[in-house]
Structure 1
Amino acid sequence: MPGPSAPNLRLEPVSVLSDGGGHEGRLVFSDDDLVAVFARVSAEENAGSLRRTGGWFLEAGFGPCSILMTSRPSVFPTLEEALAWVRERLDTGLPSS
């Protein structure tokens, strides 16, 4: 029997109203399930970070990507790194209760 396959991620562009303005965003689906919402932030908006660069901020996460299931990540420098984090969380799955 084959092992589990890598999550099939699908992105949909969306505008995310955050910090008083609209931001470029992405809804991230694993098959038909919404697992994360990322918003693009500028270097100025990420000024609290040591890196002080723009990137993709996790606005909301669901299931294994929920902030209740993992520590909230910092801003991801690229969308590809954000998606790699989502894949890692989905591969890890929900912890046993």
Structure 2
Amino acid sequence: MNEKFKNLPVEEDTQIIASFETKVESYDVVYQKWYWGGIYAESIIFFNDDVANLSEEQIKNEVAENTALLKDNSQMTLKKGENYTFVNFNFITA
């Protein structure tokens, strides 16, 4: 695993269904599919230092325009943590 993602946090009660490293354009990222509290969703996780010069909208656009993951009309959320930026999408209520 890429050293920058070795301390990737997982929130309590979140079940990770799939997780792997990949790239979005030139950015190293982790893709995760997860389940929490009756919600299934997916995330692209960026290392904060890699996207420090991008706005939240630019980060969301990287995911929307450079992956084939986003379903039509999917809501996207962005959450910045201490070391990582999570772009969450494809929410499905179980």
TM over 0.5: no
The structure with higher relative contact order (CA 8 Å, sep 6+) is: 2
TM-score w.r.t. the length of structure 2 is 0.39
